[in-house]
Structure 1
Amino acid sequence: MAVPFDFELLCELTETSGVPGYEDRIREVVTRELEPEVDEVQTDAMGNVVGTIDGESDDSVVVAAHMDEIGFMVRHVTDDGFVQVDALGGWDPRVLKAQRVTIHTDDEDVTGLIGSLPPHTLDEEQRESTPDVEDIHIDTGLDGEEANDRISKGDLVTMEQSTERVGDTVTGKALDDRICLFAMLEAARNIENPDLTVHFAATVQEEVGIRGAEALGVDLDPDLAIALDVTVANDVPGFEPADHVTELGDGTAVKLKDSSVIANPKVHQRLQSVADEEDIDFQLEVLPAGGTDTAGFQRAGGAVPAGAISIPTRYLHTVTESAHVDDVSATIDLLTAFLETEDGEYDYTL
């Protein structure tokens, strides 16, 4: 299957580093891509980026996707040159063994390794133990003096991984939430002369508590909010169908709820109506655990009608996150169609 979108840009977005609070590199890419498509681009004191297309009415809608990826911050460099870290976002330490990482220093990036000891050298207790992030030691391949000279407390660490095609899917690190950033940028390219003012918002610090969206919701004070994020696709061996949440290849997902938000029923019903009218494949998302920027906008500046469109993704918060290319395209199509038909006349009050 040919990729029906700009795969090169998606690779750049997913492979660029940007942990919570330090989204500088990805912010530059997003700003570069937004500027030709919108009337104005602004950033705020937290680092949120907002590209605005001015509409004909006084009403506004914000579309939000977060820029940050889960990562780490250096908390100590040992005398032997090993690096210890503190987590930025939710990591399952089991997936960190035998991985390469990039340590982002003031001068240059340093490659490091999270090693995994040979199993035949471990006793039974060691084999069965589950490590914590605090137990991880990153091997820099440097002696203690050089490691301490080049790496400092507060330096940032991201996983090292390329984005690849695997069958009908794309896989790599930071699809959460760069693949939704990509969908948002594609919609910004597609939409012309909207009735409402549209704010395309690339938010920060979602992975540590939807902090950027909460602040931005107050500053923008939109009349309507649509968040974009990945969602769980547990359609793999070992899970019952009721626990899949979503399935790859069945279309974009319209969120009904997650653990942080119950989407406005009138918003998600209209999203479904638009999908039906445009013959866009979609599925409904009932996510038992996990939160998104949807909640930040719903609660930040008063009662704002909020909904969300999600991209089904397997293996979340790992370096092999995977999404189906058709679901990505369906997400772009639904977001574009929704914005093109939003005229401020829909009543989302309950």
Structure 2
Amino acid sequence: MALKRTELDRLVAARGGPGGEYHVARVFEELIEPYVDEVSWDSMGNVVATSYGEDDSSADDTDDSGSNGTDTGTGIDNDTDTKDVLLAAHTDELAFLIDDITEDGLCSFSMLGGHYRGYLPGQHVLVGPDKVPGVVGTKPRHFMDGDEKGSLPETLHIDLGARSQEEVAELNVEPGDHATWDRELTDLANGRLAGRALDDRIALAILVAVARETDSDRTVHYAATVQEEVGLRGARAAVHEVDPDIAIALEIFPSDDYPIDGDRSSTVELGAGPVVEFGDGTSEYLFGGVLVDRQTLEWLTAAGSSADVTLQHDVMIGGTTDATEFQSAGRARHAGAIAVPCRYTHSPVETIDLDDAEETVDVLVAALESPFPGRTDVRGR
């Protein structure tokens, strides 16, 4: 297998909420460095590992129109040799920001990223730089009225076992620190895996595997971006710095292949192959997201066929990926997303099928080693 479980274990073991991704990024750098020509960091904490193509000395040979190729006079770019490619996954995970300590030593917190409050009660967390263990508790059921028993708690705290603000300080925990789920990886049946932070550590492991396996003439930038969970902030900086011709976000994709409200009607399934997005957005109208251009869609789809991988296609509603920033920040560029199906997204028990991840590696390697289609080569142009 191209994907190495030991690498995934290291990436998941490192912890990093939005704005605190350094340890994750450092592991990524160590893992990918042997397979690239250069590694750089920016001030936000994005890491970009670059393998230069045969003819690329990082010089810009694009024309003044922003196209890499030949304009036929109809505004159609017919070049099939688009050069620089950015593949990116994010380093941050859902976390909690400690915002206050009560007099009796409980930690109040703000949520970093799209948490579902129902996942919080009864969970174990690790807090601050020393990974102090804590628990998220609620009012006992014995003290709840009828309405409370059927609803989600409004006020939650992290309990470190401390009895005062001073004892919390002695544990080296203070406001501004992060807390993350106290969960690692659990092997399930049939090659499936559950745990925290598989969004997006599985994608970082895929990047390392692709860098190890590919033999492309293109210049390829493998980026580990920061602060995706709080608004794609790192992607915005990274794409300006790299300025690629093609940019692909690697992600997890919410699957619905389990009973939901008594029904079971799935569109994305674990074990059925990677998902190549048509688009995504924050609402059913696909506001604030990406619409994948036909050339990128054809490129990834053809790569799936070349690698003998069955792909799934869908639209992600209610969330976006770094591809949103890649497509529109700075000059326009080809952008899309490929994702590993995942059950129980944004939870401490995100669940994936490792075969889907391995096939994602195969598709990306095949894409990097194949030409990028011109507009005249795709249906609908």
Pair in the same fold by TM > 0.5: yes
Deviates more, 1:5-14 or 1:30-39: 5-14
Q: Distance in 2 between matches of 1:348 and 1:25?
A: 42
In 2 relative to 1, CA 302–91 (structure 1 residues): closer, same or farther, beyond 3 Å? same
Q: Is the 8 A contact 2:303 2:364 kept in 1?
A: no
Correspondence for 1:83: 107
Correspondence for 2:144: 122
1:347 aligns with 2:374: yes
Correspondence for 1:67: 91
| Aligned match for 1:333, one of 362, 368, 376 | 362
1:147 aligns with 2:168: yes
Equivalent position amino acid for 1:298 in 2: Q
Give 1:303 deviation, angstroms: 1.0
Equivalent position amino acid for 1:185 in 2: V
Q: Distance in 2 between matches of 1:7 and 1:235?
A: 25
Correspondence for 2:348: 319
| Aligned match for 2:202, one of 179, 184, 187 | 179
Q: Distance in 2 between matches of 1:275 and 1:114?
A: 43
Equivalent position amino acid for 2:96 in 1: F
Flag structure 1 segments of 5+ consecutive residues without an equivalent: none
Deviations 1:105-162 (A, max 9, x none): 3xx2211100244423322132133234xx2111101121211443211011111101
1:253 aligns with 2:282: no
Instruction: Give the structure with the larger helix fraction.
Output: 1
Correspondence for 1:48: 46
1:269 aligns with 2:298: yes
- Percent identity between matched residues is 38
For the residue of structure 2 that corresponds to 1:69, the secondary structure is coil
Give 1:300 deviation, angstroms: 0.8
Q: Distance in 1 between matches of 2:267 and 2:273?
A: 13
Q: Is the 8 A contact 1:48 1:204 kept in 2?
A: yes
Q: Distance in 1 between matches of 2:2 and 2:297?
A: 26
Correspondence for 2:230: 208
For the residue of structure 1 that corresponds to 2:29, the secondary structure is helix
Equivalent position amino acid for 1:158 in 2: T
Correspondence for 1:284: 313
Q: Is the 8 A contact 1:4 1:325 kept in 2?
A: no
Q: Is the 8 A contact 1:110 1:140 kept in 2?
A: yes
The TM-score with structure 1 as length reference comes to: 0.93
| Aligned match for 1:159, one of 169, 181, 187 | 181
Equivalent position amino acid for 2:374 in 1: D
Q: Is the 8 A contact 2:2 2:209 kept in 1?
A: no
Alignment of 1:185-264 (within 5 A): 185-192=208-215, 194-238=216-260, 244-259=266-281, 260-264=289-293
Q: Distance in 2 between matches of 1:142 and 1:34?
A: 41
Give 1:238 deviation, angstroms: 2.0
Give 1:202 deviation, angstroms: 0.5
Q: Distance in 2 between matches of 1:76 and 1:278?
A: 52
Equivalent position amino acid for 2:16 in 1: G
Correspondence for 2:8: 10
Give 1:348 deviation, angstroms: 5.2
Q: Is the 8 A contact 2:87 2:222 kept in 1?
A: yes
For the residue of structure 2 that corresponds to 1:201, the secondary structure is strand
Correspondence for 2:19: 21
Flag structure 2 segments of 5+ consecutive residues without an equivalent: 57-82, 282-288
Q: Is the 8 A contact 1:70 1:207 kept in 2?
A: yes
Q: Distance in 1 between matches of 2:46 and 2:2?
A: 29
Moved segments of 4+, more than 3 Å: 239-242
Give 1:206 deviation, angstroms: 0.5
In 2 relative to 1, CA 56–5 (structure 1 residues): closer, same or farther, beyond 3 Å? closer
| Aligned match for 1:137, one of 146, 157, 163 | 157
Q: Distance in 2 between matches of 1:31 and 1:340?
A: 24
In 2 relative to 1, CA 143–332 (structure 1 residues): closer, same or farther, beyond 3 Å? same
Pairs aligned (count): 340
Give 1:241 deviation, angstroms: 5.8
The TM-score with structure 2 as length reference comes to: 0.85
Give 1:282 deviation, angstroms: 1.3
Q: Is the 8 A contact 2:236 2:326 kept in 1?
A: yes
Correspondence for 2:123: 99
Deviations 1:66-114 (A, max 9, x none): 1100101110111111000111111111100100001113xx2211100
